[in-house]
Amino acid sequence: MMADTTDYAAVVDHLSKKMHYVQILKDVSFSVGKGRILGLLGPNGAGKTTTLRIMVHLMRPTSGTVTIMGEDVEKDFTKAIMHVGAMIEAPEFYNYLTGFKNLRMLADMSRTAISDADINAVIERVGLANHGNAKVKTYSLGMRQRLGVAQAILHKPEVLLLDEPINGLDPAGAHDFRTLMSDLRDQGTSIVISSHILSDIQSLADDLVVLQHGQVTYQGTMDELISHGTNHLEVTTTKPDETVVILQQMKLQYTRKEDTFDIAVPEGDPHAFQKQLAEALFNTGIPVTTMQLRQASLEDSFLALTKEKGAKANV
């Protein structure tokens, strides 16, 4: 049972979508904490964009509900959407107008009074200060992405929904984007960022929802997801043959390359295991040259999680 919708910035509750007899989403549920960044992670075709489109009523669900700041999107769209800024799929602009004039047109349609100074401040904030008066047809993909983010935050929304926002950004632009999102979160904005790029989500999100084949396969924090992966301990000794005996006695999984071993760390505290192995080797008279712990990356964890879910699905 979902918690009270007023406790969260957004709640997606048992959302399903079927199109032409194809199940796009199946019983998708998750909540977005207030003042937090939620990463909506999954491969292309997982249902991320469909979920975001339903959240802003660009598409209707087959079943299920979405609430934004306690307002039901289906029942009272006007009240719900007032809280939202969004960039879904490729942002659309008038190519023959400047970036500033595109934003001015959007500002004129807003219920919130937005001055030219406000628009210029947003243009500067997204890194387009030198291009605000250039026509959009001259913009690169990365500049269009920046302008898309600008239009999404123009009216200072409480909830921000961004679909693959880092696409097309160079490393500097991606860094600026992450800084902007962190600043907005610290100011109380609740943010959903979809991506199929694991590193983008790892460096941004407080919470994660993993979609796979239209279903939620994981919802939780970054640390919890990483725990699904396997940590590794790289050990080099001066007595590799004797080391093999110890590793086999401890029933550890490992690969060997000459005098170096890549050991899969069992479940539990990896640092405690590292200490246990070091003591076992020392007590057996095996000198250790190096011992380095490599904790699981988000990519390792994601692959382990999706493999585990796939195995269960095939049982």
pLDDT beyond 70 at 193: yes
pLDDT at residue 315, rounded to an integer: 28
Q: What is the domain range of residue 116?
A: 5-226
pLDDT tens track for 52-81? 999 999 999 999 999 999 999 999 999 999
| pLDDT recorded at residue 203 | 77
Same domain, 134 and 15: yes
Length of the chain in terms of residues written: 315
Q: Burial level of 38, CB count in 10 A (0-12/13-18/19+)?
A: buried
- Give per-residue burial for 79-101: e unless 16+ CB within 10 Å, then b: ebbbbbbbbbeebebeeeebbbb
The pLDDT of residue 225: 72
Same domain (yes/no): 218, 250: no
The overall average pLDDT reported for the chain is: 89
Instruction: Report yes or no on 150 lying in a domain.
Output: yes
What is the rounded radius of gyration, in angstroms, for the C-alpha atoms of the chain? 24
Q: Percent of the chain scored above 70 by pLDDT?
A: 91
- What is the SS3 assignment for 93? coil
279 and 143 within one domain: no
Residue 293: pLDDT over 90? no
CATH number for the domain spanning 261: value is 3.30.70
Please report, to the nearest 10 degrees, the dihedral formed by the alpha carbons of residues 48, 51, 53, 56 taken in order: -130
Q: Return d(Cα 62, Cα 238) in angstroms, integer.
A: 64
pLDDT(289) > 70: yes
* Closest alpha carbon to 125 in 159, 94, 149, 101: 149
Residue 314: pLDDT over 50: no
Residue 307 belongs to some domain of the structure: no
Q: Do 220 and 237 reside in the same domain of the chain?
A: no
Q: Domain for residue 312, yes or no? A: no
pLDDT score of 298? 67
- Could you tell me the pTM of the whole model? 0.78
Same domain membership, residue 23 and residue 162: yes
Q: Which positions ≥6 away from 184 have C-beta within 8 Å?
A: 153, 160, 191
Residues 217-243 pLDDT 10s: 888 887 777 666 678 899 999 999 999
Do 240 and 132 share a structural domain?
A: no
User: In this structure, what CATH number is given to the domain that contains residue 189?
Assistant: 3.40.50.300
| Section 104-111 average pLDDT | 90
Q: Among residues 285, 292, 297, which one has the least CA distance to residue 260?
A: 292
Same domain, 186 and 245: no
Domain total in the chain? 2
The verdict on residue 313 lying in a domain is no
Amino acid found at 100 = F
* pLDDT of 183: 92
In a domain, 301, yes or no: no
In a domain, 310, yes or no: no
> Does 177 reside within a domain?
yes
- Rounded to 10°, the helix 141-153/116-125 angle is 130
